[in-house]
Amino acid sequence: MKRLALLLSASAFLAGCPALEGLPQSEVPRTGHEAAVVFPGGPAMESDSSDDTAVPESYKGLRTKPLDWAPRRISSYADTLAPGVVVYWVPDSSLPLASVEFLWPEGRLALGPRDDAAASMLGTLLRRGGTAALTPAQVDDTLEFLAAHVSVSVGMVRSSASASGLSRDLPYLIGLLGDMLVEPRFDTARLSTAVAERVQDIEHRADTPAQTVSLASDRLSYGPSAWTRLSDSADFLALRRADLERARAGRFSPSKVWISVAGRYEKASTRKQILSLLERLREGASRPAVARLDSLAPIPSLPPRGTWIYDIPASQTQIRMGARFVRRDHPDYYPLVLASEVLGQGFGSRLVDRVRSDEGLAYHVGSFVGSDYDRPAMLGVGLQTKSQSTGRAVKLVMEEIARLRDSGFRAGELDRVRKSLRNGVPTLFDSPEATADLILQSAAWGRRDDHFATYLRALDTIPDSTVLRVYRKWFVPDSLRIVVSGPAAQLQQPFPDGSPALTTYGPVHVWTLDSLTKE
């Protein structure tokens, strides 16, 4: 209904807009009771024209029709242009908007420090550094005038490029995106600005407990590896245009790419333009070595159980307690997601009720089960609390993990989380852009064609006994490594409330930023 309200408001405004004069009738948004919001993969939701418009006295009097929705297969969106090149079409005519996204399987893992710095800056300079035909300022002004967005990103595992705006501007935006990828200007002034911004980010990456607990827990989880290497300012200050050209060469391959197009578009002409862009990439392609996920060394094993304190002056501590888990496609993943919802996901969960509501020790506390297709994930608990209550907070978390292990689930707990998770699935498809992004990522991760139907079926059919068995297997208090970001001197002293010292959970190690920058 939110999208319907937006549509009606936009239509009322656009109806008198001179820019719409002369457009084909199919391009003019519908108004009034003719409007319909079409959710990809689901039924149309027509505007309600019934006479029953009375506002109920209480929200309890609101009545809604059951949602008749079933997820589509991933392949139902697919259009194979060539071996290794697939476009996923997500049409939606409710608004005059369209977007396109390209996703490549090369990231920047396994590169040396200088090459990693160049690759991490590449997306920024492709977008902000201008093209052969347009200066950086002209690109910015054009996109601002069109109310459009273009971005390029080189992530750790994959690279992406996308454009979005009004439907009538999509052909121009695809062409501009191609110019950025094939004929970048790499303006030196913009390069200097981007480097200065990145150096500032590096200098302030360890300013708060929230930042440092993340850095420290990543290093503990995945060791000194490509996954956790921290950039050095010197690598960025040394960057030149030649480094960016080397990072770009061979990266955006026309032979292996996933593509999505969403919104209101003309399919035949858009398909033709995508093929033209891929041909431009092919003509300019060279094939230096590009780091791929399968070239990485194995992730090291976790160190023995203990507590790692990142020493930072603060009155609050950030705590992360974790253990190594599995990849998302492991059969234990779905049962443990259900168990984690009961343990520590939102109000009504065990940890929130005990640590936050009953004891008042934390504003945020929650359990997590990592969803990762590219490496073994982590599971555990995260929370924040006052420095002096750190010991008690950790003790209560350990008690609640053990209590669920020993006594099992209470009546209705699993039914509640099954329903909550099930009801959340359709919202993943609540816009054409969200649908396209989800389908594109699913293809890149290699999800099975009926992934979303399989997920819904798993939520309903996994026995309670299996959920408890898997929980007992993985959420083992004695296997959790503890990372605390806070004042080390205070945290190594006995706690004033008599709570167990952190040495209860194994040897205590003190880290600083220097500890994390060592290879």
| Tens-digit pLDDT profile for residues 109-150 | 878 888 899 999 999 999 999 999 999 999 999 999 999 999
Side-chain-side CA neighbours of 277 within 13 Å: the count stands at 27
- DSSP annotation of 386 reads E
What's the rounded Cα separation, in Å, for the pair 515 and 373? 28
End-to-end CA distance of the chain: 52
Looking at per-residue pLDDT, the higher value among 479 and 250 belongs to 479
Q: Which CATH architecture fits 74-293? A: 2-Layer Sandwich (3.30)
Instruction: Note the pLDDT tens digit of each residue in 63-120.
Output: 888 778 889 999 999 999 999 999 999 999 999 999 999 999 988 887 888 889 999 9
Quickly state the pLDDT bin for 293 (edges 50, 70, 90): low
Residue 470, amino acid? V
What topology is assigned to 307-517 in CATH? Cytochrome Bc1 Complex; Chain A, domain 1 (3.30.830)
One DSSP character per residue, 231-284 reads P-HHHHHT--HHHHHHHHTTTS-SSSEEEEEEES--HHHHHHHHHHHHHHHHHT
409-439 pLDDT tens trace: 999 999 999 999 999 999 999 999 999 999 9
- Residue 288's pLDDT is 53
Give the domain ranges of the chain: 2-52, 74-293, 307-517
Q: What is the 3-state secondary structure (H, E, C) of 468-495?
A: HHHHHHHCCHHHCEEEEEECHHHHCCCC
The C-alpha atoms of residue 231 and residue 513 are separated, in whole angstroms, by 12
Question: 283: pLDDT confidence band, cut at 50, 70 and 90?
Answer: confident
* Nearest one of 176, 181, 174 to 87, comparing CA atoms: 174
Pairing, β 481-486 against β 307-311: parallel
Least trusted range by pLDDT, from 15-29, 125-139, 259-273: 15-29
Mean pLDDT of 222-240: 91
pLDDT at 93: 94
Evaluate if residue 183 carries a pLDDT over 70: yes
Query: Does residue 345 have a pLDDT over 60?
Result: yes
221-227 average pLDDT score: 90
131, β-bridge pairs: 184
CA 290 to chain centre: 24
- Name the pLDDT band for 23 (thresholds 50, 70, 90): very low
> Does residue 7 surpass a pLDDT of 50?
no
- Tell whether the model's pLDDT for residue 265 goes beyond 80: yes
pLDDT reading at 2 higher than 70: no
| Position 41 pLDDT exceeds 70 | no
Average pLDDT over residues 356-381: 95
Tokens matching residue 127: 């977008």
The answer, yes or no, to whether residue 22 has pLDDT greater than 80, is no
Residue indicated by tokens 């780091």: 291
Q: Residues 6 or more apart from 168 whose CB is under 8 A from it?
A: 27, 96
Instruction: Assess whether the region 74-293 and the region 307-517 belong to the same CATH fold.
Output: yes
Looking at residue 43, its pLDDT comes to 41
Q: What is the pLDDT of residue 263?
A: 97
What is the mean predicted confidence (pLDDT) over 310-316? 96
Arithmetic mean of pLDDT, 379-405: 97
The residues pairing with 106 across neighbouring beta strands, listed in sequence order, are none
User: How many of the other CB atoms lie within 10 Å of CB of 279?
Assistant: 12
Furthest-apart CA atoms within the chain: distance in Å: 78
Q: Quickly list H helices, 307-448.
A: 333-344, 350-351, 390-407, 413-424, 432-445
Average the pLDDT over 350-362 and give the result: 96
- So what's the pLDDT on residue 31? 32
Distance from chain centroid for Cα 393:
29
Residue 47 has a pLDDT of 41
Average pLDDT, integer, range 387-396? 97
pLDDT band, residue 457 (cuts 50/70/90): very high
Give CA–CA dist 431/414, Å, rounded.
Answer: 29
Mean pLDDT over 51-55 rounds to: 68
**Dihedral sign (CA 290, 160, 298, 231):** positive
Which of these, 322, 326, 365, 324, lies nearest to 481 by C-alpha position?
322
Which is nearest to 261 in space by CA: 247, 242, 243, 274?
Answer: 274
Helix (H) or strand (E) run with residue 44 in it: strand 44-46
DSSP state of 354: I
User: Which of the pair, 25 or 256, is modelled with greater confidence?
Assistant: 256
pLDDT at 468: 98
* In contact, 390 and 319? CB cutoff 8 Å: yes
Residue 50 in this model has a pLDDT that exceeds 90? no
Q: At 54, is the pLDDT very low, low, confident or very high (cuts 50, 70, 90)?
A: confident
Distance CA(304)–CA(301), nearest Å, equals 9
Give Rg (Cα) of the chain. Answer: 26
Res 30: pLDDT = 35
Cα separation of 385 and 364, whole Å?
8
pLDDT of residue 441: 96
**Banded pLDDT at 236 (limits 50, 70, 90):** very high
Work out the number of other CB atoms within 10 angstroms of the CB of residue 261.
24
Specify the pLDDT at position 207.
Answer: 96
Tell the residue number behind the tokens 């997920």, with chain if given: 455
Instruction: Write the CB contacts of 49 (distance below 8 Å, at least 6 apart in sequence).
Output: 33
Q: Report in angstroms the alpha-carbon separations of 240 from 25, 154, 244.
A: 51, 18, 7
Q: Which residues contact 8 (CB under 8 A, 6 or more apart)?
A: 31, 32, 35, 47
The per-residue pLDDT of the chain, averaged, comes to: 88
* Tokens 């555990």 belong to residue: 380
Q: Give the residue with greater pLDDT, 211 vs 287.
A: 211
SS3 227: coil
Task: Give the model's pLDDT for residue 62.
Answer: 87
Angstrom distance (rounded) from CA 245 to CA 122: 9
- Number of CB atoms found within 10 A of residue 163's CB: 25
Specify the pTM: 0.84
Judged against a pLDDT cut of 60, whether residue 37 lies above it is answered with: no
